[in-house]
Structures are given as C-alpha cells and as structure tokens.
Structure 1
Amino acid sequence: MSQGTNVVQASELDTDDPRLPDCQAKEHAEHARMAFSHPRKQLANKSKSQAGKKTSEELAILINENASHIKVQKEMPGNSWKLPDEKSQTHGESKLSPVL
C-alpha cells in the first residue's frame, strides 16, 4: 500500500504546533514564487499577442491602398456603386452602397 503525502496547511495548525514555522515558510516561498513568475507570464503572453498586430503606419498604408482601389472601382464604366446623398448617411454604416 502506498501512502499519499498528507499536506497540512498553516491555517489548520495550532499556534503552539512545532510544524507551524516550517509550514508557514513553505507557504510563503510558494506564494513568492507565484508572485514573481506572474509578471513574466504576463509579459510572455503580451509578446505573443503583439506578434500579429500591425503598426499604425502599416494600417495607414492598407487604408490608402483600399481607398485607391475603391476609387478605381467607382471610376470604371458599368460599376454598381454609388455615393449616397448626404441626408441618407448614417453613422456606423458604409458610405458606399450597391445599386440594385
């Protein structure tokens, strides 16, 4: 038969128990390890999430390319896009709408 380790927490011990100082020291060391490793984990996760993001300059270039592409599409004969009237513009919607 194998015996499992019986882990006792410091909060379960009486103040006059001789195991209390060792148990408190172990719990403190474990807490300190977790506290010091947390910022490193956050930094690693932040680096991973930043890896796929584009800079504002790259986004500006993409926006300009898209705008010029839309302009060319509007100028082509037989296109199906028109600009809406100023009265019909609403916030949050595209300013270009297809003609059906």
Structure 2
Amino acid sequence: MDVKLLAVVAALTAVIYVPPSQGKPISLVERCYCRSTVSSLPRGYIRELRFIHTPNCPFQVIAKLKTNKEVCMNPEIRWLQQYLRNAINKMKKSKQAN
C-alpha cells in the first residue's frame, strides 16, 4: 500500500473515532454583561433600567444614567426590589383585568 494513502486513511480514522470536544469555542460562550455592580445609586440619577437574565449569568440590572453612562446595579438594593415587586403586581393586575 502507498504510504500517502495509508496516512490519509489513518488520519480519517482518527477524526471519525475521536470524540468531539465538550467545550464550546470562546466566541460562543455566553459572557455576563455585568462583572461588577454598584450598590448605592440614587433613583434620581437613573434615566432607564434594563433587565437581563441569561442561563449562565445571574439576574443583571443595567441602569442608564442621565449622563448616558451605563452602570450595573446590585439587584439586592432595597428600592430596586420594591420597584420590581410593584412592576410584577401591576402586570398581574392588568392580566386579571383582561
């Protein structure tokens, strides 16, 4: 048998029988937007809130400030927890009304 043909057959055999990698490429791994959070931010500085929940990351709250800067907020802030409770209750009431 020719050496080149034998090498090709061996390479194809190795590719077929080697189990696929369990890890994902770095570009496909979901990265968390918030790496650090702010724990004290007055409500008056905030223009809008954005909430992100992904399978690989904890619940994340991004606040867009009046200066157009975005910061990650600690979701355990007391006034933010109350804000979320009120929003959920409002949604429940609107669904019951329909």
Q: TM-score range by the shorter chain?
A: under 0.3
TM-score by length of 1: 0.26
More strand by share: 2
More helix by share: 1
Larger radius of gyration: 1
TM-score by length of 2: 0.27
Task: Pick 1 or 2: higher relative contact order, CA cutoff 8 A, min separation 6.
Answer: 2
